[in-house]
Amino acid sequence: MMSSVLKALSQQPRKIATGVYLRAYSSNTEVPTFETLAVSVPKPNVFHVELNRPKKMNSFNYNMWIELQKCFCSLSDNPECRVVVISGQGKHFTAGIDLHSMVELSQKANEFEDVARKSNFMYKIIGLYQDGITSLERCVKPVLAVSHSACVGAGVDLLTAADIRYCTQDSWFQVKEVDIGLAADVGTLQRLPKVIGNTSLARELCFTARKFDSTEAKDMGFVSQVLADRDSAINHALTVAEDIAKKSPVAVQTTKKCLVYSQSRPSEEGLEHIRLINQVMLQSEDLSKAAMAQAMKSDPPETWLVRVRAQVMCRDEATMGLYSSNYPDFRPLRTWLVRVRAQVMCRDEATGGWLALGGGGLANVCVGKRKVDRAAQGAQDGDEASASTSAPAQLPRHSPDGFAPPPRDKYEYFIHGVRISDETEVLSCTIKKDFQYNKVMPTFHHWVTDDKRYGLTFQTAADARAFDRGVRTAIEELLQGLGGTWPCLHAYKVDKPEEQKERDKEREKEREREEDEEGNIFECLNLPSESRSSSEGSSAARERRLEDINQTPILSAITLPRHSPRSSLKRYGGSGEGERMGAEDGSSDHCAYVQLSAHHEYTYPQVPGSGSPNTKPPLMRKDSGSMKKRAVTAFSDPPPLPDKKPIRTEQFQARLKCRHCHEWYLESANRPGACEFSPDRCRSCVDTVTCIKCAQCLLYHCMSDSEGDYNQRPCACDEVTHNCAKR
Ligand SMILES: CCC/C=C/C=C/C(=O)SCCNC(=O)CCNC(=O)[C@H](O)C(C)(C)COP(=O)(O)OP(=O)(O)OC[C@H]1O[C@@H](n2cnc3c(N)ncnc32)[C@H](O)[C@@H]1OP(=O)(O)O
């Protein structure tokens, strides 16, 4: 008894300050927000749209026309939405067009002196208003309208575009347009005659603008049902909507499409239309599921194949942010550059090893970009601790056309991780000026920023590469914003500076090379640090960071050749620390690879034509007798030999490209004869000594078949033919 009372109470609508009615069901579904409309999700897959200008009798101002279109367009695309209920807040359903905005509109039109231009303007406005109403019809989800008290003018247009209409006993309707001196132009004249199926009555109502009440509305078929009051009418509509929402969306939406298509076309055309659609839709799993449920007299299936949880996103090229495609104008949801799955690690300072953060578990980790709060921006400008881009912020105050452009938004980049199992945030850091990124293993990268060290163990090398690209993009953008120095911001330039173009080219090459060569996995990225004010910029700090890297226990340090420990950081984007450090040492940073530290040794590849005894290319095979031949161009720029002798041989194997068959191969798989296209020296030697080639030449003509092929073993012929030689 108690539970049924509670249930009944919970089903009572509850009004909150914004005017949105919350009902029993609460959903995590994202709903669009509007100024003139309130949208809620009171039942699973049922969206409730309320006209929300109660003080103005829900009259249609310019904004409402526009928002109606946006709202129904987004609901039409929203996979979470299957049915829509529309009703009005306050005393009346709607007083029709806002008469004040109507006056404003005619004033606006009068600004055009020329009749053609004035007409053009009005043509566009009427189109926009028509779209607002027609969006209900265009929405592929059924729309159920609930009218209470007055429904005047544009309100009738709106109702005629809905699929199902309900009203309250106190309802009255009026096709009021002629009374305000115009012919209804947003749908009533086209739809009302069809809705009520009585052209005589429709014309009477439109010519006279007389009111008709709920009883007459029911009698003429304008509404399906009359309910006692607004709440019961809305609840009734929601119940019907919930019922529809349980049915196959494929079936329901196709039904709506066909009804709308057929309402103004001959049956023949409508039949062809549904035939074309159903030749596809009848193959849907929904059909078999629903038919089975009917046959078994069981409840309709709870979930349908088409009920997807995926959020369709689109990318804003300007901000690189991702937005929900359902609400492109007003719902920015994500601003990440890349998102992957990985285990977040942190450095255990005591042991120097890496530990899984927060007890481990896979996390969704993203490199993101977010707008810096303008209020905080001022404070941050003086704060060097955070990396952010705002290149255009320093536009000259007086531009040539006399308009100073508004200051551009400022962004910062962050890395964020949320454990998948319990949605706990396990990683959150902003990319700061001391950011240093190390790719130590194909599936393990780590970085230092703001004096904190984090690592990621990726599930796949592809994830690692994607993440690395996200980091690069962030750094590139930071560099672009910074103009290569830190933290001074440079004035906005429309054209990319030469050095930037160079960097872009280099980056492109880098990316191509990376995609080609999976062996290129040991790398270190740094943000420029030349104008650091803190002690971080000191050489001591650099040494400390190098030391940190060298202590990495997983695959040892990433350094450039040991002739200069200070140049061990690989440059990035042409302005990295490594490059400058190399220059300081007087040795240009021409080593396009990295080497392992003292813990791990490696052999150098032999470079054809390399004259210097001190030069050996890196990380290559030991077996010089291999039949595979690497591409000569691969290591045309060999590094200097390290000072120390290798202690033991590193197991690492680079992938190389065979110059004969152009296949990639691993050193370990490079046995003699591995490539069938490579010349076989032993064989040619034997051939030469035995003169077999000579013999083959002699026999070629008489042994060859019609296509020029000849038999290698003449005595193998089953029968002697005229072109087969005797042994
Ligand atoms: C390109 C164009 C395409 C579109 C064409 C559309 C055409 C149409 O919609 S034609 C219909 C236009 N609407 C009207 O003519 C309705 C006029 N209003 C009324 O008849 C009554 O206000 C109504 C029956 C709706 C309600 O009566 P009630 O006694 O309950 O309230 P009121 O005291 O009359 O009004 C309360 C306040 O609301 C303001 N208001 C009412 N209707 C409108 C409106 N359409 N536009 C703007 N404001 C409206 C009314 O002025 C009152 O305000 P206030 O005086 O400040 O209290």
User: What is the mean pLDDT, run by run of 10 residues, along the chain of 727 residues?
Assistant: 41 39 54 93 95 97 96 94 97 97 91 92 95 97 98 98 98 97 95 97 98 98 98 97 92 92 88 86 80 78 54 51 51 64 85 81 86 60 47 39 52 85 84 84 86 87 87 82 39 48 70 51 48 41 45 34 35 35 33 29 34 36 39 38 43 63 72 73 77 66 49 49 46
pLDDT at residue 390 in the model: 46
**What atom in ligand 1 is closest to the CA of residue 180?**
10
Q: Which two tokens stand for residue 16?
A: 């909150």
CA distances (Å), 174 to each of 164, 178, 188, 564, 657, in order?
Answer: 18, 10, 11, 88, 80
Q: Atom 31 (ligand 1): residue with closest C-alpha?
A: 57
ipTM: 0.98
How close is the Cα of 96 to the center of ligand 1, in Å?
7
Q: What's the CA gap between 560 and 582, in Å, rounded? A: 10
Helical ranges in 322-405 per DSSP H: 374-381
How close is the Cα of 150 to the center of ligand 1, in Å?
10
**Residue 228 and residue 214 in contact, taking contact as beta carbons nearer than 8 Å:** no
pTM over cut 0.90: no
Best residue among 53, 55, 57 to mutate for probing ligand 1's pocket (most ligand atoms within 8 Å of CB) is 57
The number of C-alpha atoms within 13 Å of 211 and in the hemisphere containing its C-beta is 10
Backbone dihedral region of 326: left (phi > 0), alpha (psi from -120 to 50 degrees) or beta?
alpha
Q: What's the CA gap between 440 and 558, in Å, rounded? A: 7
CB-count burial class (<10 Å; 0-12, 13-18, 19+) for 248: buried
Instruction: Supply the DSSP string of 69-101, one letter for each residue.
Output: HHHHHHHHH-TT--EEEEEE-SSSSB-SB-HHH
CA distances (Å), 702 to each of 444, 717, 723, in order?
Answer: 64, 13, 5
Q: Which helix (H) or strand (E) holds 363?
A: strand 362-371
Q: Which two tokens stand for residue 393?
A: 């912020």
**Residue 335 and residue 316 in contact, taking contact as beta carbons nearer than 8 Å:** no
pLDDT at residue 97 in the model: 96
CA distances (Å), 216 to each of 95, 210, 405, in order?
Answer: 20, 12, 59
Q: Which two tokens stand for residue 59?
A: 């009259």
How close is the Cα of 176 to the center of ligand 1, in Å?
11
How close is the Cα of 180 to the center of ligand 1, in Å?
11
**Residue 482 and residue 476 in contact, taking contact as beta carbons nearer than 8 Å:** no
Q: Atom 46 (ligand 1): residue with closest C-alpha?
A: 98
Q: What's the CA gap between 356 and 276, in Å, rounded? A: 56
Helix axes 461-482, 498-516, angle to 10 degrees: 180
Q: Atom 32 (ligand 1): residue with closest C-alpha?
A: 57
How close is the Cα of 712 to the center of ligand 1, in Å?
101
Residues flanking ligand 1, CB < 6 Å = 56-57, 59, 91-92, 95-100, 126, 129, 150, 152-154, 176-177, 180, 185-186
pLDDT at residue 527 in the model: 53
Nearest to 380 by CA among 535, 491, 489, 473: 489
